Amino acid sequence: PQDLERYLAGRTLILLSNREPYEHVRSEDASAEDGIALRRPPGGLVSALDPTMQRTRGTWVAWGSGSADRETAGEDGRLMVPPECPSYTLRRVWLDDADVEGYYLGFANSALWPLCHLLLQHYETRAEHWARYHAVNARFADAVAEEVARAPGDAVVWIQDYHFAAAPAMVRERLAATGQKAFIHQFWHIPFPPPDILRLLPTEAQQGVLRGMLGNDLLEFHTERYAMNFMDCVAALVPDVQMRREHRRIHFEGREVHVGAFPISIDVARYEGLARRAEAARRAEQLRVRYGANGATLGVSVDRIDYTKGIPERLRALDQLFEEAPEMRECLTFLVVATPSRSELASYKALEDEVLASVAAINARWSTPEWTPIVLFHENIGAEELAAIYRAGDLCLVSSLQDGMNLVAKEFVACNVDEQGVLVLSRLTGAAEEIEGAVLINPFNVDGVVAGLREAIAMPQAQRRARMRAMRARLRRATIFDWLASILARVDELAPPAAEPLPR
């Protein structure tokens, strides 16, 4: 926090993300004023960035959805947050149905998302989707440029994620047109693909994405591999650039674009604290007695229902395990938390139906009067309950087919306060490049997943403890606040503050 203070002195942060940190929704709840309640998204990103925004008094620009959001913001979409201590501005940008269809469901989630995750069978491209994505990015860029104009001190624009690949260059253009200055950077929260994959985008979109991202002064990825993929794409597909790969630097249109790896993390103390509460210990014990009685192993998995997460592959492995190892029956129960996500898209809805059907089929095939192999939590689960589930788990299986980082792996490690759990982790996650001590698997190889599960179940107590201790010690030194500090330190290095620190 002290470092953060130093990096932020004299600067005003203008943040851009698709999801907002405070959302107003209609509610029947008695506590809701005028029938409107405030929802704070549970994500780790908001929990780290909200206090930072409160400190810098900047502006967070995001998609305002729904009528309650409109009613609670001013004419210009602005309001002060958080409600209990208004200290920074939330600026909502309004999207209509066609915008959401083309920008969010279309180009972001049906083209970029599957391509970046190398899952080509889900890739769809439509000229209208790119056109909307481009137009919506331009609207967000307008809002960001307006906020820079209002910012006291040195403005730093920080753009989040694949929803805004085109925006950085647009922000730069608008600032140049009005003679304003700001440092522009972007964190890319998902993998970045190699050139052979990015080539599958129509030329206009492909160029729009790469040249848009080159509008940044600094581009942050989770891993070196994604950063190098980005550099390879630029080298292969954008003419007239020079680059110094060893310096992670691209020379483009007379400026330097820096690229780097900054692996994201979680608020470790918060998760650990949740898991250590007496209430969580009680709930974990209750889950263990109910589902892991008589020494049975309790497995857990937690995901949004997304085809990148390898949920059907995981279920196939469990089915095969019970088939080939009869001694595992009644000795392994899996708690599968699967939260519906992006259900407006046919591929997500179909996946949800598939997951429900496979769980039912596996349970019908193997259940006994005393035992049900898979317990499905098909809902959004709060952080308290999640921490108890993680604490109860003897093993946690992450089987993503491709995943930028995967924070579930880190949440499990933070919550495993009894230090007896084993993490079985897909090699195809950013987390696998960072975490040492997990049992690594390839989710495409079902036999290998089965072998990994058997290894985890059979692992002696002392080895479990040693591995979990090492993973926990390392995680405590790399929290989301360390991630944030390392990015701000890099910004500070590349653009030392010009203005005197503002009085707070």
Task: Using CB under 6 A, list all residues that contact ligand G6P.
Answer: 19, 161, 189-190, 341-342
Nearer to ligand G6P, 178 or 343 (CB): 343
Q: What's the closest the beta carbon of residue 278 comes to ligand G6P, in angstroms?
A: 32
Query: How far, CA to CA in Å, does 110 sit from each of 92, 129, 152, 253, 306?
Result: 24, 9, 39, 31, 12
Parallel, antiparallel or unpaired: strands 78-81 and 88-94: antiparallel
Distance (Å, rounded) from C-alpha 414 to C-alpha 468?
10
Nearer to ligand G6P, 286 or 343 (CB): 343
Distance (Å, rounded) from C-alpha 23 to C-alpha 207?
34
Q: What's the closest the beta carbon of residue 17 comes to ligand G6P, in angstroms?
A: 7
Nearer to ligand G6P, 112 or 414 (CB): 112
User: 144, 189 in Cβ contact below 8 A?
Assistant: no
Nearer to ligand G6P, 151 or 401 (CB): 401
Q: What's the closest the beta carbon of residue 113 comes to ligand G6P, in angstroms?
A: 8
Q: What's the closest the beta carbon of residue 20 comes to ligand G6P, in angstroms?
A: 11
Q: What's the closest the beta carbon of residue 108 comes to ligand G6P, in angstroms?
A: 8
- Cα angle, residue 265 at apex, residues 401 and 417 outer, rounded to 5°: 95
Q: What's the closest the beta carbon of residue 139 comes to ligand G6P, in angstroms?
A: 18
Q: What is the DSSP string of 289-351?
A: HHHSGGG-EEEEEEEES-GGG-HHHHHHHHHHHHHH-GGGTTTEEEEEEEE---TTSHHHHHH
Q: What's the closest the beta carbon of residue 330 comes to ligand G6P, in angstroms?
A: 36
Q: What's the closest the beta carbon of residue 161 comes to ligand G6P, in angstroms?
A: 4
- Provide the b/e sequence for 399-424 (b: ≥16 CB within 10 Å): bbbbbbbbbbbbbbbbbbbeeebbbb
Q: What's the closest the beta carbon of residue 402 comes to ligand G6P, in angstroms?
A: 13
Residue with tokens 């926990």, as numbered in its chain: 472
- Name the closest residue to ligand G6P (Cβ): 189
Sheet holding 59-64, edge to edge: 78-81, 88-94, 59-64, 11-16, 154-160, 183-187, 218-221, 255-261, 249-252, 242-244
- What residues contact 394, with CB distance under 8 A and at least 6 apart? 292, 297, 298, 299, 420, 421, 422, 457
User: 65, 33 in Cβ contact below 8 A?
Assistant: no
Nearer to ligand G6P, 146 or 434 (CB): 434
- What residues contact 370, with CB distance under 8 A and at least 6 apart? 330
Nearer to ligand G6P, 362 or 405 (CB): 405
Q: What's the closest the beta carbon of residue 159 comes to ligand G6P, in angstroms?
A: 12
Residue (of 216, 156, 225, 226) closest to 186 by Cα position: 216
Nearer to ligand G6P, 154 or 161 (CB): 161
Tokens of 346: 């046919």
Distance (Å, rounded) from C-alpha 301 to C-alpha 393?
9
Distance (Å, rounded) from C-alpha 274 to C-alpha 385?
9
Nearer to ligand G6P, 9 or 428 (CB): 428
Nearer to ligand G6P, 432 or 446 (CB): 432
Nearer to ligand G6P, 44 or 452 (CB): 44
Nearer to ligand G6P, 226 or 366 (CB): 226
Nearer to ligand G6P, 43 or 448 (CB): 43
Q: What's the closest the beta carbon of residue 242 comes to ligand G6P, in angstroms?
A: 31
**Is residue 76 classed as helix, strand or coil in its secondary structure?**
coil
**How many CB atoms are closer than 10 A to CB 428?**
23
Sheet holding 439-441, edge to edge: 374-377, 332-339, 297-304, 395-398, 422-426, 439-441
Q: What's the closest the beta carbon of residue 380 comes to ligand G6P, in angstroms?
A: 11
User: 60, 93 in Cβ contact below 8 A?
Assistant: no
- What residues contact 20, with CB distance under 8 A and at least 6 apart? 41, 60, 62, 63, 64, 69, 90, 92
Q: What's the closest the beta carbon of residue 245 comes to ligand G6P, in angstroms?
A: 26
Nearer to ligand G6P, 54 or 341 (CB): 341
